[in-house]
Structure 1
Amino acid sequence: MAKVLSSTALSDNETAMPAASASLLQRLACWESFLLLVTVAVFFINAAASPYFLDVWNLSDATFNFTEKAIIVLPMAMLIIAREIDLSVASIIALSSTLMGFCAQQGMATPALVAVGLASGLACGLLNGLLVTRFGLSSIVVTIGTMSLFRGITYILLGDQVLNQYPASFAYFGQGYVYWVFSFEFVLFLGLALLFYIALHRTNFGRRTYAIGNNPVAAYYSGINVNHHKLVLFVLVGVLSGLASILLTSRLGSTRPTIALGWELGVVTMAVLGGVNILGGAGSISGVVIAAFLMGLVTFGLGLLNVPGIVMSIIIGVMLIVVISLPIISKRLLAKRQGGAG
């Protein structure tokens, strides 16, 4: 009887072990869970590597490394899910900042400067959206063109000037704190992330976004105004780019033609790292939020170790390749295990 029980227990253990392994692989296959695991690992590695990392004020400073880009990636994720993209976001920031700088020189108060920043971002996003939806042009081609257009206008208006005559109250947006170590930028990002999470995952607007991304023709014949929906998304990207321009200009306290140069790559990378399918139809706000924290922790930790910028770029590139590859490998291993069990 004891032998029967022991052999039965052994058999149960043998079947339980592959089941546990399969369960682990399934959890790893979940993009958000895997990213969260990597983010936690990076946090502890940074804590072990630098004695200054766990200081609460240093952690607060770390949020400035990613909040402005992360604010843009929220609507960008929805736009990519809908099979479009905007590569002009960094140039929109530069143009919005330039217009705010000239208005500040004319003595405009802080509320008016905020309105100028948001309005200029809205106008740029509207232009991109109209060119794509009204003329049927490729969003990649259009936004590469407007990327050069907006940045070129910035260089023409500024030349080699630096505009820094902003009102003292304007500094709060990029340098102020809501409570203790929680900056205005960070709190604003968390609030916007919650709003975009609800919009994408809990409303008809979000369902229409996924429907367009999966099959725009079917979405059209089901009654969705595809072009109008995409136009709204382009405008949202423009407005949030204008908002990021306000925050970045406020934090730097100045405007120059090279402001936010190269940010478009960082924003798109953050979206893809967060699990947004570059071909459209899939992605989540929670994934891009985790990706924003991950990239912020990596860049801040490397900065504390005085790692040169070029080396930092290489490390981030390798990290991106590894993080993208491992879930795919885990899914293949899971499929092989299930095939072997069958």
Structure 2
Amino acid sequence: MPAVGSWDVVVLLALVLVSVIGAAAVEGVASPRFWRFVTLEVVPIAIIALPMTLVVITGEIDLSVASTLGLTCAVMGDLWAHGVTSLPLLIALCLLLGAVLGAVNGLFVTVFGLPSLAVTIGTLALYRGLAYVVLGDKAVADYPVRWTDAAISPIPGLTIPWVIIVVAVLAVIFGVVLHATPVGRGLYAMGNNAEAARFAGIAVARTKFWLFVATGTMASLAGVFWTFRFASARADNGSGLELAVVAAVLLGGVSIFGGRGGMVGVIGAVLLLSTLRNALQLAYVPANTLTITTGSLLIASVVGPNVAGMVRERLRRRRTA
């Protein structure tokens, strides 16, 4: 599977176009401050979108990621409030929690054979409800300043936060796994035909289980970042973030039916959506319009590649007729 395909190029060109038009038409888009906010917004979405890309390529989906993030924030705040003041230990416990939450999804999907859409809609509500049970409507905000400042500190000499380097390293790791290893080839095979992949010797159930574990773990990592960035642990942290993640993955060219997509397009789509959203906010576009825009792009990301495929197929038939 090539690392860069035609749809990836379309997404990257759209990113450039939106950036240029935004800089020309909206005051402040060309400023370093604007790109600082864009990159800070990108971090949690990209962290979750990386494993989500692999999950969707196999033909599955995880809609519980934002609730996993919120439950992680709630547990992190509750443990801190009850005296667990070693932040490295606290972060490790949060990542372990994410792995367990992802494993619950994975067990229902791979052991009980339930559809991931139904399972993760259920755990979306369950995990968010548990977050309110743990923390209620309280906010825990007394974290050490050195940690909260570190989450948003820029790279020396730049305005871009240093955590974007962590995202870039993770993107390379997930990209290499997807595009340059037998595991990645197996993921595409599962998405195209899970039964054939199973006959070919691919451990379909086990692989999908660990993908859900990875998604849960990365959602918890995003929750840790979210807590430190906003210096506040709340049960409603990250509400609605699953829409942004799924929109980025699908707009990035990953087929909702599995078997197609790549990491380059997804990263480009994450940046595109964040740039567009922040530019529209600077232009004082109402929040409802932003939601409509995201939803429209989500629909376009599903319809567009399929329409393009139909057109290509008709042209091929005409040439061979």
By the TM > 0.5 criterion, same fold? yes
| Counterpart residue identity of residue 100, structure 1 | M
* Counterpart for residue 176 of structure 1: 153
Per-residue CA deviation, residues 3-32 of structure 1 (Å, 9 max, x unaligned), is: xxxxxxxxxxxxxxxxxxxxxxxxxx9211
TM-fit CA distance, 1:340: 6.7
Q: Which runs of 5+ in 1 are unaligned?
A: 1-28
Change (3 A) 1:71 1:55: same
Q: 2:178 aligns with which of 194, 200, 207?
A: 200
Aligned to 2:220: 242
1:44-63 superposed matches below 5 A: 44-63=20-39
* Matched pairs, number: 314
Alpha-carbon shift at residue 321 of structure 1 (Å): 4.3
Large movers: runs of 4+ above 6 Å = none
Q: Is the 8 A contact 2:96 2:217 kept in 1?
A: yes
Question: 1:176–1:183: 8 Å Cα contact kept in structure 2?
Answer: yes
Q: How does 1:103-114 map to 2 (within 5 A)?
A: 103-105=79-81, 106-114=83-91
What is the CA–CA distance in structure 2 between the aligned matches of 1:45 and 1:127, rounded to whole Å? 45
Alpha-carbon contact 1:82-1:209 (below 8 Å) kept? yes
RMSD: 2.0
**Which shows bigger deviation, 198-207 or 211-220?**
211-220
Q: 2:49, 2:245 within 8 Å by CA — same for their partners in 1? A: yes
1:142 aligns with 2:119: yes
User: 1:9 — aligned with what?
Assistant: none
Structure 2 unmatched runs, 5+: none
How far off its partner does 1:123 sit? Answer: 1.0
1:281-292 matches, within 5 Å, as 281-292=259-270
User: Is the CA contact (8 Å cut-off) linking 2:39 and 2:160 kept in structure 1?
Assistant: no
After TM superposition, give the deviation of residue 142 of structure 1 in Å: 1.4
Q: How does 1:158-173 map to 2 (within 5 A)?
A: 158-172=135-149
2:141 corresponds to which letter in structure 1?
A: N
Give the secondary structure class of the aligned counterpart of 2:201.
Answer: coil
CA contact (8 A) 1:121 1:239 kept: yes
| Corresponding position of 1:226 | 204
**Aligned equivalents of 2:298, 2:66: Cα separation in 1:** 21
The answer to whether the Cα contact below 8 Å between 1:272 and 1:278 also exists between their aligned partners in 2 is yes
Q: So what's the TM-score if we normalise by structure 2?
A: 0.91
Query: Which stretch of the first structure deviates more once superposed, 313-322 or 68-77?
Result: 313-322
CA shift digits 1:293-334 (9 cap, x unpaired): 110110110111121211111233334445655555555565
* 2:11 maps to 1:35: yes
Kindly provide the amino acid, as one letter, of the partner of residue 216 in structure 2. G
For the 8 Å contact 1:96–1:116, the answer to whether it is kept is no
- Given that 1:185 and 1:247 are in contact with CA atoms closer than 8 Å, whether structure 2 keeps it comes out as no
User: Are 2:242 and 1:264 equivalent residues in the alignment?
Assistant: yes
Deviates more, 1:308-317 or 1:292-301: 308-317
Amino acid at match of 1:301: A
Rg (Cα) greater in structure:
1
Q: 1:307: which partner in 2?
A: 285
Aligned to 1:118: 95
Which of 56, 60, 69 is the aligned partner of 1:80? 56
Shift of 1:269: 1.2
- Residue of 63, 66, 84 corresponding to 1:90: 66
Query: 1:148-177: per-residue Cα shift (whole Å, max 9, x none)?
Result: 111111111222211112222321453222
1:31-69 Cα distance to aligned partner (Å, 9 max, x none): 111111211111111001123111123212211222211
SS at match of 1:178: coil
Using the TM superposition, name which of 322-331 and 78-87 deviates more: 322-331
